[in-house]
Structure 1
Amino acid sequence: MPLTFQHHHQVVFGDCDPAGLVDYPNIYRWMDGRFQRFLHRYGGHGAVCDALNAVGLGMTETQARYRRPLRDSDALTIRMEITDWAAKSYRLSHRGYVGEDLAFEGIEGPALFEMREGRIRAGQVAPLKTLLESPPET
């Protein structure tokens, strides 16, 4: 069963370009922000890395498709799922909605990075999956 998380964002004028449309880099920022907010349930990015003896959880792949324009005052709901666990990676699937309308969808391919032999390398993500499937902090 995928791990899911939902968050709401009110689009403001500062998110937009001069034409009043959301600058596309903001969508990547919002996608990453959902995952970081999800990690707050477990003490945040730093606490998760400390618990797993990792130097970070970083992206190895990102992609987004824009389905409708986003504008100032849009009430955006972003749904994230963690799926497709492999030995050294997993997938974050994001969908942004205004009402029932799909505004964007994106994927991120993060990995867990650790220090080995004096270099940062991708590590096994099974301990991360175990941690994220445990009850979050209260």
Structure 2
Amino acid sequence: MMHNLTHTVTFGDCDPAGIVFYPNSFRWMDACFHDMLARAGGHAGLCKEIGSVGIGLADASAQFRSPMMDRDALSIRLLGIEWGARALTARYETCVGERLCFTGTEVRCIFKKTDKGISADTTDALRALLEERLNG
């Protein structure tokens, strides 16, 4: 399950030194994930189909390799998803041309309401929908 998203860095994405403010890297990984979900029915639609309250973030990390600057054309790539029983791990890389700027991961869970509150559910239903709609 690969997906690409592009973004042109603007001055508002940068810190006073003109370098991309690092939290934007996490925002762009999230945007890439949700753009991929949009091709399969969108976050809200998929959650409704599988009886979930959300596909939520449980952990995120990034490794910064090279600075991104104002007007850089970014290619944010979702390289693939590793499916676990109760979580999925999405792996990303972001480049300007061939220059690697950062890599990152997101661990996401499918949350459902239970008698005891909200807890992580199995990933099986989401995996099946995405594989059918995106690879099908």
Same fold (TM over 0.5): yes
Aligned counterpart for 2:93 among listed residues 95, 109, 117: 95
Task: Report whether the alignment pairs 1:26 with 2:24.
Answer: yes
What fraction of aligned residue pairs are identical, expressed as a percent? 40
- Kept in 2: contact 1:82–1:90 (CA 8 A): no
Offset at residue 59 of structure 1 (A): 1.0
Shift of 1:28: 0.4
Find the counterpart in structure 1 of residue 44 from structure 2: 46
Counterpart-to-counterpart distance in 1, 2:78 and 2:40: 16
1:1-138 alignment, distance < 5 Å: 3-136=1-134
Instruction: Classify the secondary structure of the residue corresponding to 1:22.
Output: coil
Contact 1:17 1:23 in 2 (8 A): yes
SS in 2 for 1:79: strand
Structure 1 contact 75–98 (Cα < 8 Å) conserved: yes
Distance 1:103 1:26 in 2: 13
Q: Which moved more, 1:13-22 or 1:81-90?
A: 81-90
Runs of 5+ consecutive residues of structure 2 not aligned to the other structure = none
Structure 1 residue 81 displacement after superposition: 2.9
Q: Could you tell me how far apart the structure 2 residues matched to 1:118 and 1:16 are?
A: 43
Letter matched to residue 64 of structure 1: A
Q: Which stretches of structure 1, 4 residues or longer, exceed 6 Å deviation after superposition?
A: none
Say which SS state the counterpart of residue 38 (structure 1) adopts: helix
Specify the code of the residue in structure 1 equivalent to 2:98: E
RMSD over aligned Cα, in angstroms? 0.9
SS at match of 1:42: coil
Larger mean Cα displacement after TM superposition, 78-87 or 15-24:
78-87
Cα distance in 1 between the residues matched to 2:86 and 2:125: 11
Amino acid in structure 1 at the alignment position of 2:19: L
Q: Deviations over 1:52-110 (max 9, x none)?
A: 00000011110001100100010100100332211101110010000101000000000
User: How far has the Cα of 1:135 moved from its partner?
Assistant: 2.5
Classify the secondary structure of the residue corresponding to 2:112: strand
TM-score computed with the length of structure 1 as normaliser: 0.94
